[in-house]
Structure formats: structure tokens, C-alpha cells
């Protein structure tokens, strides 16, 4: 009889434990082992983003990537991070013409903006990377930039009080390596979506543009010369880039100091071609061009208005080399007013993208 009583008590305890654990234990299991899918909200008119199947967005991966984006341990002397050259308030670029690395050395190209890159098939001014994961490998080991080797960077992260557990949650790994570091950074960078500027709200019917801004939008979309500014061919909405490469007449043949895409393809027709930058947040992301030669948007507009310099690979869209678009002063001001409508203040100040170490 005593055995029967013990059996009944044990059975009741077991059923009760299973009942209370049916949801709680599953949740605990998921919390411990299964990362939470990240809900990436993409505002209209931006299209859906293709996310790599081998690096899906998760809450844990994105937050870890955010920390690593601002993590100075990834540099040789622990003084710089990705964010050192990609500042949120400047559209995730560098306000300096050329970025300065940990050894005081400068590059020879202006840092490109680091938002809306999830749609871009290539990265860097010369397109030498074809994924955000691949792109994130390079600055760490670049001797002019962060000047670290990945073995030492990984060792510092593995010895850290927090990172091993964070990588375990995000990727279920026990040893941090460069592959998962760049996967996390790439996840965070894919969430850097800017699509709530005044122009976006105008497109969605949420606001109206001023008469001058509308005039600038018209000029942007009209072929030149003599009529429009002819910007839309290369800076195609809604991304305001065609993700392609062009020689926009910055230099004549004899003065090419940077060969651009040619260095990657070795195709003579690619000489001095550079990737078209997005015009989103352009009012805050100067200086401009691959070499940062123009300090202001007024200078950029004047370059196109004057026609630029002829060379063998200059883009056919650079009509009337040496003569230019012949825009009036009023037209140039209208174009400038339109470009300012592409500033996304919400994005530039979004706390989800800010430095997590400065809370």
C-alpha cells in the first residue's frame, strides 16, 4: 500500500511539473538556443531586401553587430572602431576628407556612407567586395585603418567578460572567430535603413514639397543640357543610386591619380570609374566625390553644371563636356533645395543605431 501511495504521489508530481514546464521550459530552451528573428521594417518606396540565407537577421545578432560596430577592441591599439570613420550624424560616413587610422596614416578616398547597403551588390568605391560580410573583413586588417590581425582581435573578444556569451546566444558557437564577427556586423549594417526623408513622405502622400523643392525635383528628372539637371540616370529613385560605376569627368586622362574600378577589373574601359553614391542624406554626408575634393553641394552642382573634363572613359551622360548643363542660379538653388529633402532626420538620430557604450 505504501508503495502504491508513493507511486501516486510521484506520478502527480511528474504530471504537475510537466504541466508547469510545458510553456516555461520551451521558452527557456528557445531563449538559450534559438535566436529571435529580427523584424526588419522597410518603409515605402524602398523595395524588399534580400537577406542571405546563411546569415539571417536575429535580435541577438543585430545587437551584437551593433556593439562590434562601435567596439575599439577590433583595432590594433584599441583606439578605433568601425564607427570612427562612419559617424551616424554624418550619414555613417567621415566628415573628414580622408579618414585617419590608428597610426596617424590617411587613406586617399573619402569613406562611403554605411546605410541602405543591404541592396547594394558591391561595396567600396571600386566595388572590390560583393557582400557586407566580405567588406567588414577588410578595415580591421588594413594597415592604414584599424591595423589589427584577426587572430589577435578574436583572442581579445574571447577573453572579454561579455562577448563569449553574446556570440553563444547569437550563433551558438563556443569560440569567437572572424567569420562570426563580420556576420554580426553585417546583420547590424543591414538594419541601417534610411527611408523616412521629406521626399519619402512626399512620395507616400504624407507631406508636400515647396514650389522650389518641386522645381528641383523636376530638374533632377529632366535631361540636360539647357532644360534639366539630368541627375536621375545615375541617381535613380528610390535608392538615388544605380549601384553602378561611372567616370563623371572629374579628371582628364593625364591626371588620373586613382584608377577606380580598373584596379579591380583590369578592363581599360573601367579606367577612373567609381561607384555611384546614394544621394540620400547627401546634405550631411560631405565632403563629396571619391576623393572628397568638394566641400559643399554647391561645388558638386557647379561641377556638373560646368561639364567636367573629357577623358577616354568619361560617361556619355556627361553631355557637353566643357560646356555643361547651363543651369541658371535659380535652377541651381532649386536643385539644392530638393537634395535637402533627402535628409532623414529620424534615421540620423535613431537611438537603435547609436553607440551602445554611451548610454
CATH of the domain at 222: 1.10.760.10
Cβ atoms of 306 and 124 within 8 Å: the answer is no
Residue 348 counted as domain residue: no
Q: How many CB atoms lie within 10 A of CB 332?
A: 20
Cβ atoms of 247 and 271 within 8 Å: the answer is yes
Q: Which residue range is the domain that position 241 belongs to?
A: 198-343
Identify the domain boundary among 144, 168, 194. 194
38-76 burial string, b = 16+ CB within 10 Å, else e?
A: beeeebeebeeeeeeeebebbebbbbbbbbbbbbbbbbb
C-alpha cell, 33: 538556443
Residue 4 counted as domain residue: no
What average pLDDT does range 113-126 have in this prediction? Answer: 98
C-alpha cell, 238: 528610390
Question: Phi and psi of 65, rounded to 5°?
Answer: -60, -35
Report the predicted TM-score, pTM, of the whole model to 2 decimal places: 0.90
C-alpha cell, 19: 504541466
> How many domains does the structure of the chain reveal?
2
188 CA to centre of own chain = 9
Cβ atoms of 224 and 301 within 8 Å: the answer is no
- pLDDT confidence of residue 10: 42
Dmax (CA) of the chain:
107
Bridge partners of residue 93, in order along the sequence = 87
Whether residues 235 and 159 fall in one domain? no
Q: How many CB atoms lie within 10 A of CB 278?
A: 23
More confident residue, 16 or 147: 147
Q: Which H/E stretch holds residue 138? A: helix 132-141
Whether residues 188 and 224 fall in one domain? no
- pLDDT confidence of residue 16: 42
Please work out, in degrees rounded to the nearest 5, the angle formed at the alpha carbon of residue 227 by the alpha carbons of 223 and 229: 55
Whether residues 118 and 164 fall in one domain? yes
Band of the pLDDT at 167, cuts 50, 70, 90?
very high
What average pLDDT does range 50-71 have in this prediction? Answer: 98
Identify the domain boundary among 179, 194, 209. 194
Residue 48 counted as domain residue: no
256 CA to centre of own chain = 28
Cβ atoms of 338 and 216 within 8 Å: the answer is yes
Whether residues 126 and 243 fall in one domain? no
The proportion of the chain whose per-residue pLDDT surpasses 90, expressed as a percent, equals 85
Q: Which of 133, 209, 204, 221 is nearest to 171 (CA)?
A: 133
Whether residues 187 and 87 fall in one domain? yes
Bridge partners of residue 100, in order along the sequence = 106
Whether residues 313 and 184 fall in one domain? no
Identify the domain boundary among 194, 211, 245. 194
What average pLDDT does range 316-326 have in this prediction? Answer: 86
Whether residues 161 and 234 fall in one domain? no
Band of the pLDDT at 12, cuts 50, 70, 90?
very low
Whether residues 208 and 160 fall in one domain? no
Residue 25 counted as domain residue: no
- pLDDT confidence of residue 22: 38
In the predicted structure, residue 162 carries a pLDDT above the cut 60: yes
Whether residues 317 and 189 fall in one domain? no
Alpha-carbon distance of 72 to 88, in angstroms, equals 16
Cβ atoms of 107 and 98 within 8 Å: the answer is yes
Residue 352 counted as domain residue: no
Residue 234 counted as domain residue: yes
Cβ atoms of 337 and 343 within 8 Å: the answer is no
Q: How many CB atoms lie within 10 A of CB 330?
A: 10
In the predicted structure, residue 8 carries a pLDDT above the cut 90: no
Q: Which H/E stretch holds residue 274? A: strand 274-275
Give the tens place of pLDDT for each residue, 192-228.
999 999 999 999 999 999 999 999 999 999 987 778 9
Band of the pLDDT at 313, cuts 50, 70, 90?
very high
Alpha-carbon distance of 223 to 204, in angstroms, equals 25
- pLDDT confidence of residue 32: 60
In the predicted structure, residue 61 carries a pLDDT above the cut 70: yes
Whether residues 157 and 207 fall in one domain? no
Q: Which H/E stretch holds residue 245? A: strand 245-246
Give the tens place of pLDDT for each residue, 245-296.
999 999 998 889 999 999 999 999 999 999 999 999 999 999 999 999 999 9
Alpha-carbon distance of 258 to 118, in angstroms, equals 27
Whether residues 240 and 328 fall in one domain? yes
Whether residues 234 and 106 fall in one domain? no
Residue 263 counted as domain residue: yes
Residue 24 counted as domain residue: no
96 CA to centre of own chain = 18
In the predicted structure, residue 314 carries a pLDDT above the cut 90: yes
Amino acid at each position: 500500500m505504501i508503495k502504491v501511495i508513493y507511486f501516486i504521489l510521484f506520478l502527480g508530481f511528474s504530471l504537475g511539473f510537466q504541466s508547469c514546464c510545458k510553456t516555461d521550459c520551451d521558452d527557456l530552451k528557445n531563449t538559450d538556443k534559438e535566436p529571435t528573428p529580427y523584424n526588419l521594417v522597410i518603409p515605402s518606396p524602398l523595395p524588399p531586401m534580400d537577406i542571405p540565407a546563411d546569415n539571417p537577421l536575429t535580435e541577438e545578432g543585430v545587437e551584437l553587430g551593433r556593439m562590434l560596430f562601435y567596439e575599439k577592441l577590433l583595432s590594433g591599439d584599441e583606439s578605433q572602431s568601425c564607427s570612427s570613420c562612419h559617424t551616424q550624424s554624418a550619414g555613417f560616413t567621415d566628415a573628414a576628407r580622408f579618414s585617419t587610422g590608428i597610426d596617424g596614416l590617411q587613406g586617399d578616398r573619402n569613406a562611403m556612407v554605411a546605410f541602405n547597403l543591404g541592396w547594394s551588390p558591391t561595396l567600396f568605391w571600386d566595388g572590390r567586395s560583393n557582400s557586407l560580410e566580405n567588406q567588414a573583413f577588410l578595415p580591421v586588417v588594413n594597415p592604414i585603418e584599424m591595423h589589427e590581425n584577426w587572430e589577435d582581435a578574436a583572442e581579445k573578444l574571447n577573453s572579454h567578460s561579455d562577448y563569449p556569451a553574446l556570440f553563444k546566444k547569437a550563433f551558438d558557437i563556443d569560440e569567437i572567430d572572424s567569420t562570426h564577427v563580420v556576420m554580426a556586423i553585417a546583420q547590424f549594417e543591414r538594419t541601417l535603413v534610411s527611408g523616412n526623408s521629406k521626399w519619402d513622405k512626399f512620395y507616400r502622400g504624407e507631406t508636400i514639397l515647396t514650389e522650389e523643392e518641386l522645381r528641383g525635383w523636376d530638374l533632377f528628372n529632366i535631361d540636360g543640357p539647357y532644360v534639366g539637371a539630368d541627375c536621375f540616370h545615375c541617381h535613380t529613385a528610390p535608392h538615388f543610386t544605380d549601384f553602378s560605376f561611372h567616370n563623371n569627368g572629374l579628371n582628364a586622362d593625364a591626371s588620373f591619380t586613382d584608377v577606380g574600378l580598373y584596379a579591380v577589373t583590369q578592363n581599360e574601359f573601367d579606367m577612373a570609374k567609381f561607384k555611384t553614391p546614394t544621394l540620400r542624406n547627401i546634405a550631411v554626408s560631405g565632403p563629396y566625390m571619391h576623393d572628397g575634393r568638394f566641400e559643399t553641394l554647391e561645388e558638386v552642382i557647379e561641377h556638373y553644371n560646368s561639364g567636367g573634363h573629357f577623358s577616354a572613359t568619361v560617361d556619355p551622360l556627361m553631355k557637353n563636356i566643357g560646356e555643361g548643363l547651363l543651369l541658371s542660379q535659380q535652377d541651381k538653388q532649386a536643385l539644392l533645395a530638393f537634395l535637402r529633402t533627402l535628409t532623414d532626420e529620424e534615421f540620423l538620430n535613431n537611438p537603435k543605431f547609436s553607440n551602445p557604450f554611451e548610454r
